[in-house]
A and B are shown apart, each in its own frame.
Chain A
Amino acid sequence: MKHVVNAEEGRWRRDSPAHVVVTDLSKTYELREGAIESIRKVSFEVECGGFVSILGPSGCGKSTLLMILAGIIPPSSGTIVIDTAPVTGPRRETSLVFQIPALFPWRSVLSNVLFPIEIFKADLKHHQGEALKLLEMTGLVEFKDRLPEQLSGGMAQRVSLCRALITNPELLLMDEPFSALDALTRDEMSLELQNVWEKFRKTVVFVTHSIREAVFLSDRVIVLSQRPAVIVSDLRIELPRPRTLQIQETAEFNQYCAQIRASIGVRGG
């Protein structure tokens, strides 16, 4: 895999959120048992500072799509352009949050948050203050010296969010970040993520299989079909912000959910 290494501080720090243009993106895995077409000619655009969810059934290739956006997996064809630059590999202006927190078990919470700064060879002292601010904001500051094994799932995922934000990315990619958490923690994390987003206004692409989570968080929900994934609907969510958990009881909210369910072809519920 080719890496774009750019150690100079400042180069990867930009204050404007990213504008993402995906054009005719396809991905086919060539396996010994034959080719598997994962994504077929997907095109969409994410506006600066937008919160877009990508929703689809399990195994439809939505995570693959996110990994392609991150530059970790190369596409079979098609292009991704962020601002004006095509994505050819991992970029330091993009941060990823995975389904599992993927923290380093030998590092304390604070040291985990600072890991990208070490990799980018940026000023650790300066960023330590930033890291503490992020931990403060997510209610983790008194756990800064703990080891990951001493954290709950929700706390670990918060650390991983702080770690993604410490580099001040212009694009935040989240791959089902709350799906391993219990329902109550999920709600709490959704609220928190909304607050973080309101505050930082990053462009966010959020992959999930939860319709309610997608509607609650997003400006826009893009629904993918079964494999090979194509876009079956692209819905703007016009609910007022900041949203509270109670909004989930409103008719408007449930109408959006029903509309999305209908587009995937799920009945009832």
Chain B
Amino acid sequence: MRPRVPWRPCADVWRRSGAVLMPVAVFLLIGAAWSFLTNAFEVSPLLLPGPVAVLHTMIEERQVLVEAAVSTMSEILLATVIAIVAGFATAVVIGTSRLVRRAVFPYILATQVLPKVALAPILIAWFGIGMESRLVLAFLISYFPMVINTLAGLLGTSEGVLRYAHSLAASEWQILIKVRLPAATPSIVGGIKITAGVAVIGIVVGEFVASDRGLGKVIIDSSASLDTSLTVAATLIIGVLGLLLLGALEVVEKRIVYWQPGR
């Protein structure tokens, strides 16, 4: 389906390994700079421990960290899936009916304008300190980008293609399934990426305020007991989890929107 790039072994190996080697090199460089700076300026380990100390803590506290990471990651995935399904369904309904769009859209906008973190105390009062509060918080943050992106995709179908479909006397359902939705996939996948990204924020902030488990709780507890090394370790793991999630979505995106120009 896609144009074949002429195969040049040398350039190819260089390009492929570059995709892996370059980030690794940058990673090592940052680690080295971090190590050098904390040593040279004798930074107190209470403020910022060196990378070796953090690595040491990671190994020592692996059981706590792995358990917390599994909990955080599964809640992130759950929140993402809920937001994707609900956001997609909302967008399809309000994208199909102008009347519903007019009636409902201001409220969907309101979920975006409201500072969700400010809702945390109410959410805890309603749902308790636990997964439910965190999921609701993450959902409130990540629902909107999914709705907006999907809607933009559905309504942005090119006029020419729509007119052609109408000329075939296609039904509205056929137009939705065979024209609008496929045309919207780049926006939908873009929406999924943003949704997953902000779900990470939602869950971690949720773990700060409704702390019964997860990496957010590790961060709060360790910083309360001045165990900065563990705080940094947990923060780094959150970063890695986020990267893995977005990386996986990037792979999926390349498969689904193979046809988009400039790809």
Residue ranges of A at the interface with B (Cβ–Cβ < 8 Å): 1, 3-6, 70-72, 89-92, 94-96, 98, 100, 102, 104-106, 108, 115-116, 118-120, 145-147, 149-150
- Distance (whole angstroms) from the CB of B164 to the closest CB of chain A: 4
Selected contact of A70 from candidates B1, B167, B261, CB within 8 Å: B167
Bound-state CA distance A90–B167 (Å) is 5
Residue of B with least CB distance to A149: B261
Report the nearest A residue to B263, measured CB to CB: A149
Contacts from B to A (Cβ < 8 Å):
1-3, 158, 160-161, 163-171, 174, 178-179, 182-183, 185, 257-261
CA gap between A149 and B257 in the complex, in Å: 13
A146 to B2, CA, bound (A): 8
Chain A residue with the shortest CB-CB distance to B160: A102
**Smallest CB–CB gap between A13 and chain B, Å?**
14
Contact A145 B1 (CB under 8 A): yes
CB-CB under 8 A from A150, the residues of chain B are 3
- A108-B1, A119-B174, A145-B1 known; A96-B164 Cβ under 8 A: yes
Kindly list chain B residues whose C-beta atoms are within 8 Å of the C-beta of A108.
1
User: Do B1 and A92 have beta carbons less than 8 Å apart?
Assistant: no
Contacts of A96 in B (CB 8 A): 164, 167
Which of B158, B170, B185 has the most chain A CB atoms closer than 10 A to its own CB? B170
**A126 to chain B: closest CB distance in Å?**
18
Instruction: Knowing A98-B160, A100-B160 are in contact, say whether A106-B185 is a contact too (CB < 8 A).
Output: yes
Whether A119 pairs with B165 at a CB distance below 8 angstroms is yes
- Whose C-beta in chain B lies nearest to the C-beta of A70? B167
Q: Is the CB of A119 within 8 A of B161?
A: no
Choice from A1, A95, A147 contacting B1 with Cβ under 8 Å: A147
Chain B residues positioned under 8 Å from A120 (CB to CB): 168
Q: Name the residue on A nearest B260 (C-beta).
A: A105
Expressed in whole angstroms, the Cα–Cα distance for A145 and B4 within the complex equals 13
The residue that B169 contacts in the complex, of A91, A104, A146, A147, with Cβ under 8 A, is: A91
